[in-house]
Structure 1
């Protein structure tokens, strides 16, 4: 079932998204050599709680942490642990915030210190593809238009688009209908209407699109062990131009 949001509901999601965007900004200052991914998780949880919100991921299907932190060849759903970041690492931080009854969801992939030129290009083009997808999140477009925009942008660079994991609707639940694949055909899928809130989240691999799940039951890794990138915004479908509720400004200003 598709749940379109009222303007009042969108305002509540915007409040949630603003807390989430600030969390990402705080974390960006700490993504440095020597910090552990578990320390980043604790920073996020404290910030979220201090703002009267709760972490969307903690307890979700038994997940024990506030962040999914996916390193290097991990695509998504990585579990924070005692690993210390080192120069050249690729760190995807995915976070959700639940506030006043509504979820927001956003992800950003950082390079630690100097990363290789090919990794820097992967991060740049994956982030570009997110905005290409968002451009299609307008009234009258279709779900397939979003996926096509993302896929066509990154495949021109030889990257692989993950098929097994997709974006999604969100609101009172963290994952609502519809699914939003990062691949697809123009003009296919459901028609988009005003008030649909979506998490659009390209997951793009430096090598092939194929992934495997690790024995921990959560972490998704590239089969060829090459790095992966993940960027995500919470957006509202609108006439003419999508409205982006999360922002990377706090990250990129730090």
Structure 2
């Protein structure tokens, strides 16, 4: 069942969501060649602790870390490690903060040092996919409208859109209904109504949309070994339209 939030509950979700947004703004200044994703893990945990937030991913379905740190061909759910990031890498950092039982979720892809025009274009298109998906988040539209906008834009550049890693509702729980893919047709899926809070989080691959799960049981990697990029916001649907809770410009 889809949980419909009151305006007061959405305001409560804004608190962890804005903390995640602030963390990502500061993380962008922290990341550089030589930094490890385990350094990022420590950065995020320290930020959360100082901000009065709980890192909600730790222990969720036995996931052991505060961050999903996905480098290059890792699409999502990558484990942080001690490998130094280097010029040309791309890394997606995904985390969920909890304040007073309410969650805020955002992932962002960062270019490390000097990256190639090919990589820069992938990251640019992935961010544009997020923005085009957000344009469809309004009362009366459907999750299929979000997916169609993302899919058609990404595929116009020959990129693959990951279908089997889903967007989701969020609130008291990290994952709530509705669950929906980033591939679809207009007017299909779940109708968007005021009070719904969900994520828009397209995962865009340089090549095939297909992936496999690594030996750690979590890390999703592109089947062809090419890079992937992802941008994610937590958003609320109100009577006035879209409200981006994890907006980094707020």
The two structures have a TM-score, normalised by structure 2, of 0.98
1:9 lines up with 2:4 in the alignment:
no
Counterpart of 1:121 in structure 2 is: 121
Counterpart of 1:21 in structure 2 is: 21
Structure 1: stretches of 5+ with no match in the other structure: none
Residues 79-90 of structure 1 mapped to structure 2, 5 A cutoff = 79-90=79-90
Cα contact 1:199–1:232 (8 A) shared by 2: yes
Counterpart of 1:154 in structure 2 is: 154
RMSD: 1.1
Structure 2: stretches of 5+ with no match in the other structure: none
SS in 1 for 2:134: helix
Counterpart of 1:62 in structure 2 is: 62
Question: How far, CA to CA, are the matches of 2:241 and 2:204 in structure 1?
Answer: 24
Cα contact 1:91–1:109 (8 A) shared by 2: yes
Shift of 1:241: 3.1
Counterpart of 2:34 in structure 1 is: 34
SS in 1 for 2:218: coil
CA deviation digits over 1:80-110, x for unaligned, max 9?
0101010000110111101111011001101
SS in 1 for 2:114: coil
Question: How far, CA to CA, are the matches of 2:98 and 2:246 in structure 1?
Answer: 13
Cα contact 2:17–2:246 (8 A) shared by 1: yes
CA deviation digits over 1:103-160, x for unaligned, max 9?
1100110110111111101111110110111111110001110100110111100000
SS in 2 for 1:204: strand
Residues 48-197 of structure 1 mapped to structure 2, 5 A cutoff = 48-197=48-197
SS in 1 for 2:43: helix
Q: Which runs of 4+ in 1 moved over 6 A?
A: none
